[in-house]
Amino acid sequence: MRIACPLCGERDLREFTYKGAALALAYPSEAASAQEWDDYLHNRDNPAGPTRELWYHGSGCTSWLVVTRNTVTHEILAVELAENAEEASA
Amino acid sequence: MRIAGKGLINRKKPVSFTFDGTVYSGFEGDTLASALLANGVKLMARSFKYHRPRGVLTAGSEEPNALVTIGNGASQDPNVRATVQEIYEGLEARSQNRWPSLAHDVMAVNDLGAPFLGAGFYYKTFMWPKAFWEKLYEPVIRRAAGLGALSGAAVTDKYERAYAHCDVLVIGAGPTGLMAALTAAEAGVDVILAEEDSVLGGRLLSESGEIDGVPARDWAEATVARLQGMANVRIMTRTSVTGAYDGGTYGALERVGHHGVVAADLPKECFWRIAAKRAVLAAGALERPVAFQNNDRPGIMLASAVRSYVNRWNVAPGKAVAVFGNNDSAHDTAADLLAAGVHVSALIDSRPDATTDLPVPFYAGAHVCGSEGRKALEAVSISRASGIDKVQADCLAMSGGWNPTLHLTCHMSGRPDWDEAIAAFVPRAGMVPGMIAAGACNGVFSTAACLGEGAGAALAALDGLGVEAEMPALPAAEARDYRISPLWAVPGKGRAWLDFQNDVSVKDVKQAAVENFRSVEHMKRYTTQGMATDQGKNSNVGALAVLADATGRGIPETGTTTYRPPFQPVAIAAMAAGSEDKGFAPERLTTSHELTVKAGAPMIEAGLWYRPSYFPRSGETTWRQSCDREVMHVRQAVGVADVSTLGKIDIKGPDAGALLDFLYTNMFSTLKVGRVRYGLMLREDGHVMDDGTTARLAEDHFVMTTTTAAAGQVMSHMELITQGVKRKLDVRFTSVTEHWAQFAVAGPKSRELLNGLLDAPIDGESWPFMACGDVSVGGVKARLFRISFSGEQAYELAVPSRYGEALFAELRKRAEGLGGGVYGMEALNVLRIEKGFITHGEIDGRMTAFDIGMQGMMSKKKDFYGKGAAARPGLLDDERPQLVGLKPVGVVKQITAGAHLYKDGAEAVRENDQGYVTSVGFSPEMGSFLGLAFLKGGRARHGETVRMVDAMRGVETTCEVCHPVFLDPEGERARD
Ligand SMILES: [Zn+2]
């Protein structure tokens, strides 16, 4: 698998580490309800199709990336820097 | 027997080698299989299960029978295909799976018992009694049924991993691949041409046809010469592409040093990872055998293999050869044999309408239905409408048609389509993004069509790369139609073999169907068909056809099993190359490492770092003696320890304080310049991630320390916070762990030591506990932190790494001069346990601030990462495990880490579990073992006695629960 880092270009999978759903960017406010925390921490969709994930380019530029990937075909549909990614969508 | 002809062997260069100890001679260019056949050796192996005598079936990498062991000792390679192994001077090959010898194998009695050893035999027979399986049946069966053995010694040969990139990867260098590579290369893109053979040309090397009016082999040679002259082409011979992976990544195995000594510095094998923007699969096709009674006798081989041996290696595989097939390959074979002067005793074609002009006894609409001979073929039986004829033959060339080598197209969950016209599976387009199948592997078999498909696939690849190119002029070549009439198994009694390597017969597959293993995946596992090292390359489609017939379904409805990488066996040593020892875990060494090792300190791993356990002195015979002394040095005089392995992160910017406020549970923006504060960091789920001190060097400049183990994790965590969660912060940070060598100077005489060393002395008032700032050591600017992980008056002194070794030597000398010395991890551990300071032994990812008694550090005045999640009711439960101290009060005065705690008098069973011990040390000052532990609701249980049981080590005692700070609870020593 290869990921096209917006800063470094196309790189081998092993330069990256996987974190999980891009939901991690939608950090709840201090006042969030228990249900909101539960959704943020534990509840994940498991789609057969496109999903947004967080990957860390630790052996490259140390960027966090939001990778849109199809879980069925493994096709990578989009890669963007987490700092440019929309916060509240997963 | 060697015959005349212009093959690809160098008759001027004889090569001698041994097989089972006998010396034979071949020529440069021979494989082990061709050289043995040239010497009249037909019996090359014993079969896996029944120990049946076997010869060579193929002339390629799909060989199921002729597996041998090459070499001796640590570099012994088992299960090497004789058809792939090139001979070289001094090559030592041995047959496998036989005892005492290949010709007289006592295990051949298995063959007599064959009726009992059929499909599902293991499952049915050895089920009872259960204990017998592991102790008796399995070892016996494993000894009887098997392939070659490993030496048992660690590999001494060199293996390598390497990486390559290209625009177009062409897999296979037959007519299709050569044409594809040429077309792509002429358009100027970077091309890698990978070919598993040692010579490029594929089937052209073994066939007698012409291309553009010259022998096909000459055309191949000329084309290869052109490719070799192009700077944008990289030709990789002896390289099998083994797998297709996501994103245009391909695995490939190069046999670098299997054909004699190439160069001393080259490895035996190299495993390549090739990143290709586009790929053309030109893997060709594999001929398939026909199942008939005793179709496995040495001398029976594929028709294409016979042509290879005759045309490429100038070997006659027999004196009288019968040829049997259901397509025109059989006729080509008979013609080539006649041209080479080899007697053809019969040509048998299963197609009733077949004709021939060849001067040979011809049988149309007939089948070979049996074979005779002892360890080699002597005669074949031919069944036709009028009865059975017996024909003398010491070699049978058979062809059941061709299967496109489409394996790679299925490596990413693709499924092939059944093509009735060629009675074979063909690849579905687009199954591996960026890869195009062309030529024979795409179900196109004439040379002319292959050349056209190769060029066409290259154009499609170029188009995908945005490169324009035109269809080149195609060379003239044979353009015959492929005519085949399906023939899988000849009806008749006896065992007709499908899977030669795993000894699976037509009967076995039918038996599986009878027992309702009708799914092809079930049949495969029940009979073991296709599960050998050849992955059923010769047998999968045939077995499937037999299963389809037995279950009354068509082949497409029956479906295929899954094709998985690797396409060829790959040694683990090749895939793991570079990942052993230091390649797996690189060493990180501190600046004091050399002096530490010289001092005789045993080193222990801390992540990738190496740190000293203790520094033994003369007269000390146990680690405990050294450790106790080092602890007392710190408690009574002064000790020095290298603490450079702690992560150090330099943080700068107007929002540095705001970042730290969000990262840590406690407040850092209020920290005064020149002061240090201890901080606690949580994960998003409210559990403790890490702890450490952070110093404020200037208004907008902090330096954070992390634990040794979590340095990388904290760094990526901070990146996530600043890039994803708190994006607006104006702050920059970088790891400076390697930039600074940092030493703890701890003990009542620590200030005295420093004042002899620093350019300007310090005092307790201007440098109070938790102060920090710049100092000067011998004119070198250094940083001093008054922090303590031992509870004593203590400092950490940091200098740029290049001064680390010199400073360590100086600190050590001065500490010893003051009655102290250097100390290692064991002493450091005891010192911190005495003070109840935590490490990752305690904050193991499951603990909250509340659990470790640091709930007071959770600021109520601000938000911080993990705060909301940490407030969840379950994480505040009074019954949660809480950090406590333990002192042994029973008869046994020992505590062990990992032991579990129970209420006094309670039975030591899981249901009664109350907690567990995380850290243990022996305190020389208190003369007792001390432990840190987590105990249910432990903070309210100080004074209680609990039962400690270590079931692993068999230690049991009674402990008193106490506050985790054993020594100087008010912290006066550190402030002294
Ligand atoms: Zn990057």
Q: Taking CB atoms and an 8 Å limit, are A24 and B869 in contact across chains?
A: no
B963 three-state secondary structure: coil
- Which residue in B772, B793, B790, B799 sits closest to B676, CA to CA? B772
Q: What is the pLDDT of residue A90?
A: 38
Q: What is the pLDDT of residue B341?
A: 96
- Domain spanning B289-400: which superfamily? FAD/NAD(P)-binding domain (3.50.50.60)
Q: Taking CB atoms and an 8 Å limit, are B719 and A62 in contact across chains?
A: yes
How far does A49 lie from chain B, in Å, by closest CA? 15
Cα–Cα dist B610/B604, whole Å: 6
How far does A63 lie from chain B, in Å, by closest CA? 7
B619 dihedral zone (left: phi>0; alpha: psi -120 to 50; beta):
left
Point out the least confidently predicted range of B37-51, B241-255, B693-707: B37-51
Q: What is the pLDDT of residue B138?
A: 64
How far does A7 lie from chain B, in Å, by closest CA? 14
Cα–Cα dist B630/B617, whole Å: 10
Q: Report the relative pairing of strands B402-404 and B395-399 from DSSP bridges.
A: unpaired
Residue of B nearest to A72 (CA): B413
Whether the per-residue pLDDT at B466 is higher than 90: the answer is: yes
- CATH class of segment(s) B593-645+739-832: alpha beta
Q: For residue A63, how far is its CA from the centre of ligand 1 (angstroms)?
A: 6
Half-sphere exposure of A7 (CA within 13 A, CB side): 15
Dump pLDDT digits (tens) for B308-359. 999 999 999 999 999 999 999 999 999 999 999 999 999 999 999 999 999 9
Cα–Cα dist B506/B891, whole Å: 72
- Beta bridge partners, B239, equal B254
Our CA angle for B402, B407, B408, nearest 5°, is 135
Contacting residues of B for A81, CB less than 8 Å apart: 723
| Pick among 2.40.30.110, 3.40.630.30, 3.40.1160.10, 3.10.20.600: CATH of B877-975 | 2.40.30.110
SS (H, E, C) B52-86: CEECCCCCCCCCCCCEEEECCHHHCEEEEECCCCE
Which residues, other chains included, contact B76 with Cβ-Cβ below 8 Å and sequence gap of 6+?
B69, B70, B150, B151
- Domain spanning B647-735: which superfamily? Aminomethyltransferase beta-barrel domains (3.30.70.1400)
Per DSSP, the residues of B141-196 read: HHHHS------SSPP-S-EEEEEEEEEEEEE--SHHHHHHHHHHHHTT--EEEE-S
Q: Taking CB atoms and an 8 Å limit, are A64 and B724 in contact across chains?
A: yes
Whether the per-residue pLDDT at B812 is higher than 50: the answer is: yes
Q: How far is CA B870 from CA B440, B684, B725, B881, in A?
A: 63, 9, 18, 15
Q: Determine if the peptide bond prior to B100 is cis (ω within 30°).
A: yes
Percent of chain B with pLDDT over 70: 97
Q: What is the pLDDT of residue B147?
A: 79
Q: What is the pLDDT of residue B124?
A: 64
Q: How far is CA B294 from CA B369, B377, B383, B540, in A?
A: 9, 10, 14, 19
Cα–Cα dist B593/B611, whole Å: 8
Our CA angle for B103, B105, B107, nearest 5°, is 160
Contacting residues of A for B716, CB less than 8 Å apart: 17, 56, 58, 62
Dump pLDDT digits (tens) for B74-89. 889 999 999 999 999 9
Dump pLDDT digits (tens) for B742-760. 999 999 999 999 999 999 9
Dump pLDDT digits (tens) for B111-134. 776 666 677 666 665 555 666 666
Q: In 10 A of CB B152, how many CB atoms?
A: 8
At B976, the pLDDT band (50, 70, 90 cuts) reads: confident
B471 three-state secondary structure: coil
Our CA angle for B119, B121, B123, nearest 5°, is 110
Contact present, B815 and B753 (Cβ < 8 Å): yes
Residue with tokens 């960091």: B681
- Which residue in B150, B24, B159 sits closest to B580, CA to CA? B159
From the list A29, A64, A76, the residue facing B723 with the nearest CB is A64
Whether the per-residue pLDDT at B63 is higher than 90: the answer is: yes
- Beta bridge partners, B743, equal B642, B797
Q: For residue B234, how far is its CA from the centre of ligand 1 (angstroms)?
A: 29
Contacting residues of A for B248, CB less than 8 Å apart: 2
Q: What is the pLDDT of residue B261?
A: 74
Q: What is the pLDDT of residue B101?
A: 83
Q: What is the pLDDT of residue B672?
A: 98
B628 three-state secondary structure: helix
Mean pLDDT across chain B: 94
CATH architecture of B158-285+404-464: 3-Layer(bba) Sandwich (3.50)
Q: Which residues surround ligand 1, an ion (CB under 5 A)?
A: A 5, 7-8, 57, 60-61, 63
CA dihedral B438, B439, B443, B447 (to 10 degrees): 170
State mean pLDDT over B698-714: 96
Q: For residue B189, how far is its CA from the centre of ligand 1 (angstroms)?
A: 26
Cα–Cα dist B692/B705, whole Å: 5
CA dihedral B729, B732, B734, B739 (to 10 degrees): -140
Q: In 10 A of CB B122, how many CB atoms?
A: 16
Q: Taking CB atoms and an 8 Å limit, are B433 and A75 in contact across chains?
A: yes
State mean pLDDT over B790-807: 98
Q: What is the pLDDT of residue B144?
A: 59
Dump pLDDT digits (tens) for A31-89. 899 899 999 999 999 999 999 999 999 999 999 999 999 999 999 999 999 999 876 44
Q: What is the pLDDT of residue B562?
A: 87
Classify residue A37 by its DSSP letter: H
Whether the per-residue pLDDT at B288 is higher than 80: the answer is: yes
Per DSSP, the residues of B755-821 read: HTTBSS---TTTS-TTBEEEEEETTEEEEEE---SSSSSEEEEEEEGGGHHHHHHHHHHHHHHTT-E
Residue with tokens 């409408």: B385
Specify the amino acid at residue B850.
F
Cα–Cα dist B307/B329, whole Å: 10
Q: In 10 A of CB B713, how many CB atoms?
A: 16
Give me the count of residues in chain B: 976
Contacting residues of B for A3, CB less than 8 Å apart: 247
Contacting residues of A for B867, CB less than 8 Å apart: 30
Q: What is the pLDDT of residue B260?
A: 86
Dump pLDDT digits (tens) for B659-669. 999 999 999 99
State mean pLDDT over B819-828: 98
| ipTM confidence score | 0.97
- For residue B952, with 0-12 CB atoms within 10 Å meaning exposed, 13-18 middle and 19 or more buried, which class applies? exposed
B362 dihedral zone (left: phi>0; alpha: psi -120 to 50; beta):
beta
Cα–Cα dist B219/B448, whole Å: 13
Whether the per-residue pLDDT at B269 is higher than 90: the answer is: yes
Q: What is the pLDDT of residue A89?
A: 42
Give me the count of residues in chain A: 90
Contact present, B886 and B894 (Cβ < 8 Å): no
Q: What is the pLDDT of residue B387?
A: 93
Among A1, A15, A27, most B C-beta atoms within 10 A, so best to mutate, is A27
Cα–Cα dist B555/B550, whole Å: 11
Cα–Cα dist B406/B409, whole Å: 6
Q: Which fold has domain A2-89?
A: Folate-binding fold (3.30.2270)
Contacting residues of B for A71, CB less than 8 Å apart: none
The pTM of the full predicted model, rounded to 2 decimals, is: 0.91
Contacting residues of B for A28, CB less than 8 Å apart: 868
The ranges assigned to domains in chain B are: 1-152, 158-285+404-464, 289-400, 494-553, 593-645+739-832, 647-735, 877-975
How far does A46 lie from chain B, in Å, by closest CA? 19
Cα–Cα dist B781/B773, whole Å: 10
State mean pLDDT over B49-69: 94
The ranges assigned to domains in chain A are: 2-89
Residues of A with CB under 8 A from a CB of B: 1-3, 10, 12-13, 17, 19, 24-25, 27-32, 34, 37, 40-41, 54, 56, 58, 62-64, 73-76, 81-83, 85
| Pick among 3.40.50.2300, 3.90.470.20, 3.90.850.10, 3.10.20.440: CATH of B1-152 | 3.10.20.440
Q: For residue A9, how far is its CA from the centre of ligand 1 (angstroms)?
A: 7
Q: In 10 A of CB B205, how many CB atoms?
A: 21
B433 three-state secondary structure: coil
Q: What is the pLDDT of residue B115?
A: 64
Whether the per-residue pLDDT at B907 is higher than 90: the answer is: yes
Cα–Cα dist B105/B102, whole Å: 6
**Size of the A and B interface in Cβ pairs below 8 Å:** 74
Note the Cα B971 to chain centre separation in Å: 52
Point out the least confidently predicted range of B281-285, B324-328, B432-436, B578-582: B578-582
Cα–Cα dist B421/B483, whole Å: 8
Radius of gyration from C-alpha coordinates of chain A: 14
Q: For residue A72, how far is its CA from the centre of ligand 1 (angstroms)?
A: 25
